[in-house]
């Protein structure tokens, strides 16, 4: 994922995990290559991609996309509206994500900002649940955890999640890395049973953060045939559609 307001584009090494939250049984963590290749392709984009040829993306195999809506409690992706509506018009399942900056304000405040500017979910069969991008601090490499202790970070994530659920009825997808999760939450197991996990895993090692046992979405590359980051749903297209349905 990206922090749009910094000059360098920092990246994660992450992947998504959800157990049976997808409306069906999630597939095994280490699928065969043939099985993996049959799983729906997706991608995630931000303001860096600007105007996107969505029909071309779908022709190349894209079936879902996450679009960055907000960051912290003051930044909005200026291309969000066109990217979000354009992806739907091209026949892609779509969802919105928020880039967290826990040092700036509370989880509840950032969730409210996100929900006010594109983060809402609706049961239309096309909208994926909101996603929280919580990872290393791109603005200060000495403060990877944004200056929060482990307990405080868990409380921050819980507050964000509670606000999203209160407003939409759904828990957010959590995008993170096993390394960051262990370091900044102390390996908290408080979210794995109820929150879909999006794991960026560029090596294919599929190390999961504490609390999760299955992958749901894997971010496997920062570039490829689709605009933005390359993702793959860990299941069938029917399961992906049920995930959108809630």
* Domains of the chain, residue spans: 15-245
Q: What confidence score (pLDDT) does residue 205 get?
A: 80
Q: What confidence score (pLDDT) does residue 5 get?
A: 56
Q: What confidence score (pLDDT) does residue 119 get?
A: 98
C-alpha–C-alpha distance, residues 83 and 64, integer Å? 12
Q: What confidence score (pLDDT) does residue 10 get?
A: 39
Q: Tell me if 18 sits within 8 A of 197, measured CB to CB.
A: yes
Tens-digit pLDDT profile for residues 29-58: 344 444 557 899 999 999 999 999 999 999
Low-confidence ranges of the chain (pLDDT < 70): 2, 4-36, 206
Give the contacts of 229 (CB within 8 A, at least 6 positions apart).
Answer: 1, 43, 44, 45, 200, 219, 221, 222, 223
C-alpha–C-alpha distance, residues 196 and 18, integer Å? 4
Residues paired with 3 in a beta bridge = none
- Just list the catalytic residues: 44, 135
Q: What confidence score (pLDDT) does residue 206 get?
A: 67
What value does the mean pLDDT of the chain take? 89
Q: What confidence score (pLDDT) does residue 29 get?
A: 38
Q: What confidence score (pLDDT) does residue 11 get?
A: 40
Q: Tell me if 14 sits within 8 A of 35, measured CB to CB.
A: no
Q: What confidence score (pLDDT) does residue 7 get?
A: 35
CB-side neighbour CA atoms (13 Å) of 16: 30
C-alpha–C-alpha distance, residues 207 and 209, integer Å? 7
The pairing of beta strand 75-76 with beta strand 62-71: antiparallel
- In 3D, which of 121, 133, 213 has the Cα closest to residue 165? 121
C-alpha–C-alpha distance, residues 68 and 131, integer Å? 9
Q: What confidence score (pLDDT) does residue 38 get?
A: 85
The CATH topology of domain 15-245 is: TIM Barrel (3.20.20)
- In 3D, which of 184, 188, 129, 125 has the Cα closest to residue 161? 129
Prediction pTM value: 0.88
């Amino acid at each position: 994922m990206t922090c749009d307001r910094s000059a360098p584009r920092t990246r994660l090494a992450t992947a998504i995990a959800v157990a049976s939250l997808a409306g069906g049984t999630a597939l095994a963590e280490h699928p065969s290559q043939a099985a993996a290749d049959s799983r729906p392709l997706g991608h995630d984009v931000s303001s860096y991609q600007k105007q996107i040829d969505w029909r071309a993306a779908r022709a190349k195999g894209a079936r879902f996309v996450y679009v960055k809506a907000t960051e912290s409690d003051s930044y909005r992706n200026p291309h969000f509206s066109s990217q979000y509506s354009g992806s739907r018009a091209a026949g892609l399942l779509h969802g919105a994500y928020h880039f967290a900056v826990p040092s700036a304000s509370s989880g509840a405040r950032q969730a409210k900002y996100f929900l006010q500017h594109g983060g809402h979910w609706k049961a239309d069969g096309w909208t994926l649940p909101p996603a929280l991008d919580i990872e290393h601090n791109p603005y200060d490499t000495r403060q990877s955890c944004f200056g929060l202790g482990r307990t405080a970070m868990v409380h921050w994530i819980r507050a964000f999640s509670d606000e999203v659920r209160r407003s939409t009825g759904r828990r957010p997808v959590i995008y993170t890395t096993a390394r960051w999760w262990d370091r900044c939450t102390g390996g908290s197991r408080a979210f794995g049973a109820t929150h879909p996990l999006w794991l960026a895993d560029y090596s294919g090692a599929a190390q999961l953060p504490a609390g999760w046992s299955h992958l749901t979405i894997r971010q496997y590359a920062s570039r490829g045939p689709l605009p933005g980051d390359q993702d793959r749903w860990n299941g069938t297209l029917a399961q992906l559609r049920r995930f959108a349905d809630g």
